[in-house]
Amino acid sequence: MKLYFSRNYNPRVAVAVARYLNSPVEFEFASPFAPGEHEKFLKLNPNSGLPILVEGETALWEADAIACRLSRLAGSSFWPTGDAMPDLIRWISWGYWHLVRACDQVHFERVTKQRYGLGPVRQEILEAGLCEFASSAAILDEHLAGRDWLVGDEVTYADFRVACVLPFAQLAGLPLAEFSHVEAWHARLMEIPAWRDPFAGLDAPELPPLCSEPR
């Protein structure tokens, strides 16, 4: 198996899952939109995005699907089944539509635009993202009061998925410290080597530096 990835946060999740599960995959850094690369990756993913897991003649794209596949191959409870699975799906869905989307808005305005010179910060989008982050983080903070992980008593993919943007929180200027249970949960995740630095030892060029300081 081969896992094509980049340093963006969805591919980061896939690499972290593979390394956490000790999956038998070959990691390959990729740039689908680089000159001469687009046609190759278009054949693997009609969106041309990453991550992509290739098994023989089969290409599987989207981080959640890849995490499910790798967990099943490992026979791991990291993707719980049975009665716990609806709760897992709930947090994956909630995370995407609320916390992750909010963080993505803020990160795009404050970080991505400055990194690639994409123009000024749109204050109305930034404020909307910060507002959604605050309301979502409050829900998450309440859920995490008195518990270590989102689903059950051990780390699962729900934790990786919902937290996928938090390694970028400081750079994006997100007020994580205002939510003590979320901050403690993020700290617990950062104790897991595969999550803290999934790219350790891999050929994975750093993202470009910021062109200017985020505002």
CATH of the domain at 43: 3.40.30.10
105, 185: one domain: yes
Residue-by-residue DSSP string for 174-186: --GGG-HHHHHHH
Do residues 123 and 55 both lie within one domain?
A: no
> Domain residues for 115?
82-196
Average pLDDT over residues 68-90: 96
**Which sign, positive or negative, has the C-alpha torsion 32, 38, 40, 45?**
positive
Q: 21 and 70 in contact (C-beta within 8 Å)?
A: yes
- Please check the confidence at residue 6 and state whether its pLDDT lies above 90: yes
Section 88-94 average pLDDT: 98
Residues 171 and 109 in one domain: yes
* 202 occurs within a structural domain: no
| Mean pLDDT confidence for 46-70 | 97
- Percent of the chain past pLDDT 90, that is, above it, reads 94
Rounded to an integer, the average pLDDT of 180-196 is 98
In a domain, 38, yes or no: yes
The mean pLDDT of the chain is 95
**Inside any domain, residue 102:** yes
**Pair 189, 181: CB distance under 8 Å:** no
Reported confidence tier of residue 211, pLDDT bands at 50, 70, 90: confident
Looking at the domain assignment, is residue 156 inside a domain? yes
pLDDT tier at 210, thresholds 50, 70, 90: confident
- Same domain for 29 and 110? no
Query: For the domain that residue 177 is a member of, what is the CATH number?
Result: 1.20.1050.10
Number of Cβ within a 10 Å radius of residue 187: 11
Q: How far apart are CA 149 and CA 6, in angstroms?
A: 27
Last residue of a domain, one of 39, 74, 109: 74
Rounded mean pLDDT, 113-133? 95
pLDDT at position 212 is 57
Q: How far apart are CA 61 and CA 42, in angstroms?
A: 11
Question: In whole angstroms, what is the distance from residue 56 CA to residue 76 CA?
Answer: 22
**Distance in angstroms (rounded) separating the CA atoms of residues 84 and 81:** 6
Indicate if the pLDDT at residue 214 is higher than 80.
Answer: no
Higher pLDDT, 210 or 118: 118
- Which helix or strand (DSSP H or E) is residue 3 part of? strand 2-5
- Kindly give, in sequence order, each residue whose CB lies less than 8 Å from that of residue 176, ignoring residues fewer than 6 positions away: 137, 166, 169, 170, 182, 183, 186
Cis peptide, bond prior to residue 51, ω within 30 of zero: yes
Do residues 34 and 40 touch, judged by C-beta distance below 8 A? no
Is the domain of 70 the same as that of 23? yes
pLDDT, position 32: 94
Overall domain count for the chain: 2
Tokens 């609320």 belong to 98
Pick the range with the lowest mean pLDDT from 2-6, 111-115, 155-159.
Answer: 111-115
Residue (of 214, 8, 11) closest to 121 by Cα position: 214
